[in-house]
């Protein structure tokens, strides 16, 4: 991949991105952008085929992850893949050690894996589904921070940890209590980890995008247009109307923010929950 990025200091850094096996997902976009900056990237995802009760866009399969990796390699990027369930401590630790063993370093860890498809009112939300959302979105990020930081501390030259939050990290949303709670919790986790790891030169930040029409985002659009009774066209029109810049977010908007937070230009930024929302979210 011919590197024409903004941040030459990122060349030959090594990044792990969780949840990066879904076509049109945020993980794919961040992987492509970091690879374009010369970063050597490890894509990880759970690798299972989606179950019959899940949206097809909910799970990154091994085959899809390998297709994304092949495309990045064909463009000249340096990429590896690793199957990882972020709920399993030993698998997350192994992913961090894999990056170190395969590429010789671990400089960037992006906690992107998440559940954004279990959306029900509080009184109807089954406990097991609540636990699933909090498990992947918050426990998974904790494990990523824990094991990435262990490697980074051992290396002794700092690092970048980036968590993918949401507008739901800042505001509440009906029919999404578990998701909202998990993303609010992610901001608290970010702030605490930033306090603990700053003296070692490890920054910890969260990116908080508004709605992005990824593959899963398209499912969310259809779901909430039905739940609200607005119909798809009215739902999307109302979404655009409340965003000052007049459009929903794009995968590339998040990828740009990720590259910036990995760069030296962001070396004095830590503990932040950075809105990338076209002005829709401003606190």
Quote the pLDDT of residue 127. 97
- In what side-by-side order are the strands of the sheet with 14-17? 79-83, 40-45, 14-17, 108-111, 159-164, 202-209, 273-276
Quote the pLDDT of residue 236. 74
Structure tokens at 10: 């990122």
pTM of the model: 0.92
DSSP 51: P
Quote the pLDDT of residue 1. 47
Quote the pLDDT of residue 238. 75
Is 78 within 8 Å of 4 (Cβ atoms)? Answer: no
Beta-carbon-side half-sphere exposure of residue 106 (alpha carbons within 13 Å): 28
Q: 8-216+251-268 has which CATH code? A: 3.40.50.720
The residues annotated with a catalytic role in the active site are 179
List residues bridging with 176 in a β-sheet.
Answer: none
pLDDT in tens, the chain (283 residues): 444 689 999 999 999 999 999 998 999 999 999 999 999 999 999 987 545 455 555 667 899 999 999 999 999 999 999 999 999 999 999 999 999 999 999 999 999 999 988 889 999 999 999 999 999 999 999 999 999 999 999 999 999 999 999 999 999 989 999 999 999 999 999 999 999 999 999 999 999 999 887 666 665 667 667 777 777 777 677 778 889 999 989 999 999 999 999 999 999 999 999 999 999 898 8
């Amino acid at each position: 991949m011919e590197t024409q990025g903004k941040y030459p200091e990122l060349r030959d850094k090594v990044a792990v991105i969780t949840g990066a096996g879904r076509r049109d997902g945020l993980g794919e976009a961040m992987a492509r952008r970091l690879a374009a900056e010369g970063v050597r990237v490890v894509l990880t995802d759970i690798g299972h085929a989606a179950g019959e009760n899940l949206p097809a866009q909910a799970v990154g399969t091994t085959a899809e992850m390998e297709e994304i990796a092949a495309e990045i390699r064909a463009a000249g990027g340096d990429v590896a893949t690793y199957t990882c369930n972020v709920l399993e401590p030993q698998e997350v630790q192994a992913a961090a050690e894999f990056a170190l063993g395969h590429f010789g370093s671990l400089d960037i860890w992006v906690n992107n894996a998440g559940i954004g498809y279990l959306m029900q009112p509080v009184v109807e939300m089954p406990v097991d589904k609540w636990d699933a959302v909090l498990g992947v979105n918050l426990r998974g990020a904790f494990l990523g921070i824990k094991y990435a930081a262990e490697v980074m501390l051992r290396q002794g030259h700092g690092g970048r940890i980036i968590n993918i939050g949401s507008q739901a990290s800042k505001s509440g949303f009906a029919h999404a209590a578990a998701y909202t709670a998990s993303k609010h919790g992610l901001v608290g986790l970010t702030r605490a980890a930033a306090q603990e790891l700053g003296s070692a030169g490890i920054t910890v930040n969260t990116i908080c995008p508004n709605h992005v029409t990824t593959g899963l985002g398209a499912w969310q659009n259809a779901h909430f247009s039905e739940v609200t009774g607005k119909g798809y066209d009215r739902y999307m029109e109302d979404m655009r109307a409340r965003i000052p810049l007049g459009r929903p977010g794009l995968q590339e908007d998040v990828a740009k923010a990720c590259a910036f937070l990995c760069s030296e230009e962001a070396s004095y930024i830590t503990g932040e929950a950075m809105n990338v929302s076209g002005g829709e979210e401003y606190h």
